Chains A and B, each alone.
Chain A
Amino acid sequence: MDDVAEQAKTIFIIGSNTTEQHPVFGTRIRQAVLRRGVKLIVADPRRIDITEFATLHLRLKPGTDIALLNGLMYIILEKGYEDKAFIESRTENFEEFKANVMQYNPELVSEITGVPVTQLYEAAEILGTSKPGAILWAMGITQHVVGVQNVRTCANLQMLLGNIGIPGGGVNPLRGQNNVQGACDMGGLPNVYPAYQQVINEDVRKKFETAWGVPLSPKVGMTVTEMIPAIAEDKIKALYILGENPIMSDPDTNHIRHCLEQLEFMVLQEIFPTETAPYADVLLPGVTFAEKTGTFTNTERRVQLVRQAIPPIGEARHDWEITQEIARRVMEFGQRKADLSAPQAAWNYSSPAEIVAEVAALAPSYAGISLERLDRGERLQWPVKGNDHPGTPILHVGQFTRGKGLFAVTEHIPPVELPDKEYPMLLSTGRVLYHWHGGEMTRRAKGLLEVYSQSLIELNPQDAAQLGLQEAQKVRVSSRRGTIEAEAWVTDRVPPGMVYANFHFPDVPANSLTIAALDPIAKIPEYKVCAVKLELVEA
């Protein structure tokens, strides 16, 4: 983030409400504009706060990101702004990519995206002439059925401009939770062991079988968006959930409820009795960040030390201890046994430091991470290849991980559920500044709740007038899957025809409206687009 804030000449934000969702990084972008005159392009259907600082706000229609980016690349190629040396030496598949992009002429792109042709030319000129440029995105790019293709298109743009492997450049996905990067790094995914070592790779599997002293499954597992629906098909019998709240955060809440009702057994390890707790059979009190020691990895792969400040509340226990206790007992009671003499098989950690050491032994990118180094104040971004390795602030310098950068051919595919006669409005969902994710923590923070005490539906003045909305009157928003009622915030942040809801409040569960249409590769739901209708709630 330092390099983007201090060295980028252009910052292109697409699908990230940076000042509200990554506020501190947002302030650094504002300062980059104010102090260094960075050119800021924001592509977003909503007039989010950061657009006030933008040189250019491309107000595209939701779900048209690929068309927009391909259209910009068409102009970049037309004007000769591309980095020919970079393309020649560092990438492959350029010709096929180019042939595809050349189908996206500005007029066509303007028609698909709603962005005027002149703005497309202005944006392409900024991107092509003010380098290095960084592209930033968040869930506005990924939460689509074409999420993976969206990301690849962002990468295409940066390769085309040669903005890779340099300070102030790069592809910069902003991660939405304190340790979502770390949870992925640690193998909290169905297809990879820690450090993205593939479960389907036999050599890798053997490595972990040797370490853990037990044969391992060669089959890729289910994602969360597959696991819960699989309960209804009788494929999943039990869930062990640590600090997650699917009732608030998963798409199509009514279906999630229906599935969880049928689940045979759920153990939930939590700090609060969340909205998911009614579906649990056992509730185990874990602890908050303030009560634990360990590490979090931030959005720029920076591994940072979490220091315990207060003792656990009541009888709550450290989460690592709880998992260890369950693991020992399951192995004792069940038929599956591990050879506990294998190097990393045992479950007898006496502190988080011992777990850090085990991770370092098995995850090459964390090989040089230790609590001592972090406690000394060393600033480490992975890969940290050994105890003397200083870490890696910039990736892909000189070479991509896979060797050459692959230009992907990506096509505009419309969202699965667009507005129609019956459901004429488009709904997009996300968060607001004062709350966070399912709201479990922020709804229990006094001041935050005081400033933002109830869910508000963002609605354009034109639509409000058409609806005949009176002040402080509630609206009913319905999709094919559910209905919510909430007060409207009449604002031109949203364009006509679009509403925006947050998923922080259980009495206005926005995810009862959302569609569980998934990206075929990432299995991420299309939270940013579904069709709804609006009605007034009679007082």
Chain B
Amino acid sequence: MPKITINGQEIEVPPGKTVLEAAQLAGITIPTLCYHKDLSPYGGCRLCMVEVQGARLPMASCTLPASEGMVVQTETPKLADSRRTVLKLLLSAYYDRGDNANDGRENELIHWAKFYGVDIEKASLKAPRYEINADPNPFIYIDMNKCILCGRCVRACAEVQGRFVWGISERGFESKVVAGLDEPMLEARCESCGACVAYCPTGALENKLSIGMGKADEIVQTICPYCGVGCTVDLNVKDGKIIRVTSSPEGAVNGMRLCVKGRYGYDFVHHDERLNKPLVREYLLNGTQRPKGADRGKWVEVDWETALTITARKIAELRDAHGADSIGVLTSAKCTNEENYLMNKFARQVVGTNNIDHCARL
């Protein structure tokens, strides 16, 4: 394994690693913006420049292969100067109207600008260059005034999702990130997976459903309720409500990946139509016969005890009168293993039938 020296520390590096990765292995932080470990190295933002002994000029550590005997410095006054210049240049095309769109994640540009003592107010633009929230995509909020052209969205769409929606058009100061041929995202075949949002370092791309909701009180890691892939989702909870779903590298099957349903299909949880009280048909309370035909009569809200007792009496009566096999139990592919186990035990032990199934076939 090649040995390199970073800031005087000798490090053994597995073959094929970059200087940036070698530094990370040794616990040395080099500032980055366009770099993300899941994405191919880009070398675009020039923040991760390091000095290499014997090299004429500083080099971008995210694209520089670590090779035997390299001697590297990551924090020198000269490098700090160059980073301040880079940050000022980025801020010179950056405008934040302060509309609280940020979801509580750290804005990486602002973080490094503060770290290197850049006067953000002074360095950034005073008026927007682009219309804010111009794209009708219901999930993704775009404020290109915050875009620093790091290309992480472009690479995330290509290398994580495999959809190639984003690209960079124009040249120089006019350069901008566009969907397809500068068209609405959905027309550019966007699948609204939100990977671009997850990888955006500045909040130029945000989760539209969560704009203005701020930071979560708590993040709870659980499993997506949709298909059988079983992605890990991070529910961002505030005041007892899910305000956002995010992905994290810890996901056993998905890592940072999620689909549109997993990332943005959570608001059904708080929908007005949620059942929140037990309901029984009026005839059950009157002790009368069930109305014949399609309409079973009026719903009446009752307490749990009433609903549970009516249910259990009915099942017990019908079972005792017509036999255990006159009862059917449909359990649920949407419920947990424990709930399904209990439904199986209920059918077989309590009722005495094997009439139990769920929609595995459907």
Contacts and interface: CB of A to CB of B under 8 A. Distances in A.
B290 to A, nearest CB: 7
Given A298-B223, A310-B240, 6 more contacts: A1-B253, A212-B345, A267-B314, A326-B315, A336-B319, A336-B352
A418 interface: no
B331 A242 contact: yes
Interface string B277-308: 11111001000001001111001000010011
- CB-based closest 3 A-B pairs: A314-B276, A298-B230, A221-B354
Interface stretch (A71-79, A106-114, A352-360): A352-360
A272 B186 CA distance: 30
11 contacts: A31-B159, A219-B325, A224-B362, A278-B294, A281-B296, A281-B314, A288-B268, A302-B253, A314-B274, A314-B275, A523-B361
A313 interface: yes
B30 to A, nearest CB: 26
B170 interface: no
A219 B298 CA distance: 38
Interface stretch (B57-65, B73-81, B115-123, B231-239): B231-239
A316 B276 contact: yes
A199 B349 CA distance: 12
B230 A329 contact: no
B333 A183 contact: yes
Interface string B189-224: 001110000000000000011000000001011111
A217 B63 CA distance: 67
Contact of A352 (B231, B332, B336): B336
B315 to A, nearest CB: 5
B138 A447 contact: yes
A455 to B, nearest CB: 17
B29 to A, nearest CB: 25
Contacts of B277: 285, 314-315
Given A24-B262, A270-B275, A316-B274, A296 B359 contact: no
B261 A442 contact: yes
Given A24-B254, A285-B278, A237 B337 contact: no
Nearest to B234: A309
A188 B352 contact: no
Contact of A305 (B162, B223, B333): B223
A190 B316 contact: no
Interface string A318-346: 01101111111111111110100000010
Contacts of A288: 225, 268-269
B260 A23 contact: yes
A518 to B, nearest CB: 9
Contact of A331 (B254, B266, B336, B350): B350
Contact of B349 (A30, A316, A326, A345): A345
A23 B191 contact: yes
A111 to B, nearest CB: 31
Contacts of B309: 329
Interface string A419-452: 0000000000000011011001110111110110
Contacts of A295: 336-338
Interface residues of A, number: 157
Q: Is the interface of B mostly helix, strand, loop or mixed?
A: mixed
A16 to B, nearest CB: 11
B1 interface: no
Given A238-B315, A327-B346, A333-B316, A224 B324 contact: no
Interface stretch (A243-251, A401-409, A472-480): A243-251
Tell which of B225, B259, B280, B337 has the most Cβ of chain A within 10 Å: B337
A360 to B, nearest CB: 10
| Residue of A227, A238, A305 ringed by the most chain B CB atoms within 10 A | A238
A345 B354 CA distance: 17
Nearest to A224: B357
A495 B333 CA distance: 33
Given A174-B228, A188-B357, A283 B337 contact: no
A326 B253 contact: no
Nearest to A328: B312
B359 A249 contact: yes
B252 interface: yes
Contacts of A184: 360
Nearest to A442: B265
B20 to A, nearest CB: 21
Contact of B186 (A22, A230, A319, A451): A451
Contacts of B267: 444-447
A224 B332 CA distance: 11
B269 to A, nearest CB: 5
A323 B339 contact: yes
Contacts of A448: 260-261, 264-265
Interface string B240-257: 111000000010111001
Interface string B19-30: 000000000000
B311 interface: yes
B259 A24 contact: yes
B265 A441 contact: yes
A190 B356 contact: yes
A220 B268 CA distance: 37
A182 interface: yes
Given A31-B159, A238-B314, A179 B335 contact: yes
B154 to A, nearest CB: 15
A238 B326 contact: yes
A292 B332 CA distance: 15
Contacts of A315: 276-278, 304
Given A184-B360, A242-B330, A294 B336 contact: yes
Interface in A1-54: 1-2, 21-25, 27-28, 30-31, 34, 53
